[in-house]
Amino acid sequence: MNSPTTHLTATDYEAVIGLEVHVQLKTKTKMFCACKNEFGGPANSHVCPVCLGLPGVLPVPNEEAIIKTILTGEMLGCQIATRCKFDRKNYFYPDMPKNYQISQYDEPLCQGGAVRLDLLAFPKDAQKDAAASADKPIRLVRIHLEEDVAKSFHFEDGTSGIDFNRAGTPLMEIVSEADISSPEEAFAYLSALKQILIYGGVSDADMEKGQMRCDVNISIRPRGQKEFGTKCELKNLNSISGVRRALKYEIARQIDVVTSGGQIEQQTRRWDDDKGETTLMRTKEKAHDYRYFPDPDIQPVRTDHGLYEKAQSLMPELPAAKKLRLVRDFGLSAYQAAVLASDVPLANYFEKAAKPKPVNGAAVANFLLNDFLAMKLAAPAFAAAEAVLKKVDSQTASHVQNEIPNLPSVDPIFFTELAEFSTSGKINSRQAKEVFAQMLATGKSPAQLVKELGLEQVSDVGQLEAFCDQAIAANPKSVADFKAGKQNAVNALKGQVMKLSKGTANPQLVGEILIRKLSA
């Protein structure tokens, strides 16, 4: 128990946080039966005697789920057990049809490993102060495989119903060590973990659909103290940003209790996101006795008889490796590479756009990460172009990469064309933005649009010299200012040339020609 430490102030305490993340696996069927594993559908439409727990049924483990759990362990650097077994976890609850859950206890599939934090995985408003935590490893205790429970619904008339469609869905539980020390690190951990799960194709990890759920264990202790304080468990956390908000509240609550002379009780608390507070669910004096024992209907599983090899064959290029390759192969900045690597569909689209020919990869990335994003956020009228966009999964809005909710359905090679037009000087930056907007809205190629809009930049020296001569003759004051040493006066003349050319003159060449003529 915590002893009263009223002589300490709030800043003298630190948080100790561990997370238990439940992840629904992306498999065709449920964990122990042949029912479809699919979100949605009419209530109780994806059920059978096995997942309803009827007498006399025999569960059969899902090989795909085991392989994807092993793959997750490989991606996170875990030790993979050569032998594991399934156990019965006994408890009575309305959403558990058998009154026990098939899980793993003392022989999990994966042990150890870590999730390494990344700077861009932190909330945007915390990235400036997160440098010390970037690249920090959050160690894992274990990853085990079990079946999900059904979902309860509580209605306004006081009645309740249960949808067993979710019962029996393959569920990984990823348990971290208490290595997390702030709400921002918890946010970054969940974001980094979600990214890896999506990379491996093991889960869509959509928290709104319940495909990734999180329980939080949180305690506080005086800074420098090695012993943990009394922990509280937080439930009902259904978003990554919600985890951050809940932890901020709970840390402040616990500090307020101990600095006021009180003691923290071991509790399970519910997070109310609307009210922004945690409330007591139940007080727990000791861990519940689930009376685990090996499931007599399921034989132990050997992973070294082909399952491990199948999982290894599915290993993807992970985000850290992708970032390095994007920098090396496409000349991107570290930031551009990190943002692209954090969004699998966007990174794949970029590579299709930048690969066909030698092109400035950074320019292609800029059009995707800057212009496309700015257009989506700043121009409501652009919603009319939704017909030429295809939807991809949205993620946590606090990330730059996750604020890009759609990918262009235009041919990726159009981005190559546009980058070439822009970097070669055939069109200027303002014209490139105009072509970009029309390209997305109409689906036409940059080459076609440049021709239709009459935007190709004039780089013919003879034509440009004629425009420059007209501007010099019509603006004697600017000429005099330049000759008097006011170098900026050339900009006024350049503007006149752009006006004469209707915006098609190459501004760099115009500047060079004007300075040469004025300096003669």
Q: Give the confidence band of 318 by pLDDT, cuts at 50, 70, 90.
A: very high
DSSP H/E element including 23: strand 13-24
Range scoring the smallest mean pLDDT among 298-302, 319-323, 384-388, 483-487: 384-388
pTM over 0.75: yes
pLDDT exceeds 60 at position 43: yes
Residue 56 to residue 98: CA distance in whole angstroms: 12
Alpha-carbon span 442 to 444, nearest angstrom: 5
Q: Which residue did the predictor score with more confidence, 187 or 498?
A: 187
Burial of 106 (0-12, 13-18, 19+ CB in 10 A): exposed
Q: Which residue has the higher pLDDT, 5 or 308?
A: 308
The conformation of residue 346, written as its DSSP 8-state character, comes to H
Residue 385 has pLDDT above 80, yes or no: no
Tell me, what's the pLDDT at 287?
56
Q: What is the pLDDT of residue 358?
A: 59
DSSP string, 151-179: EEEE-TTS-EEEETTSTT-EEEEEEE-S-
Residue environment code for 211-224, b if the CB has 16+ CB neighbours within 10 A, otherwise e:
bbbbbbbbbbbeee
139 contacts 181 by C-beta, under 8 angstroms:
no
Cβ pair 186, 216 in contact under 8 A: yes
d(CA 365, CA 373): 11
Question: What are the structural domains of the chain?
Answer: 10-297 (no CATH), 319-453 (no CATH), 461-519 (1.10.10.410)
Q: State the average pLDDT over residues 196-216.
A: 94
Averaged over 482-495, what is the pLDDT? 86
Give the whole-number percent of the chain exceeding pLDDT 90. Answer: 58
Give the pLDDT mean for 175-188: 97
pLDDT of residue 357 exceeding 70, the answer is no
> What's the pLDDT score for residue 383?
44
What is the average pLDDT across 153-180? 95
Task: Determine the Cα–Cα distance for residues 300 and 374; give it in Å rounded to an integer.
Answer: 54
pLDDT of residue 406: 56
Question: What is the enclosing helix (H) or strand (E) of 467?
Answer: helix 461-474
The values of phi and psi at residue 142, to 5°, are -165, 165
In this structure, of 6-10, 38-42, 121-125, the range with the lowest mean pLDDT score is: 6-10
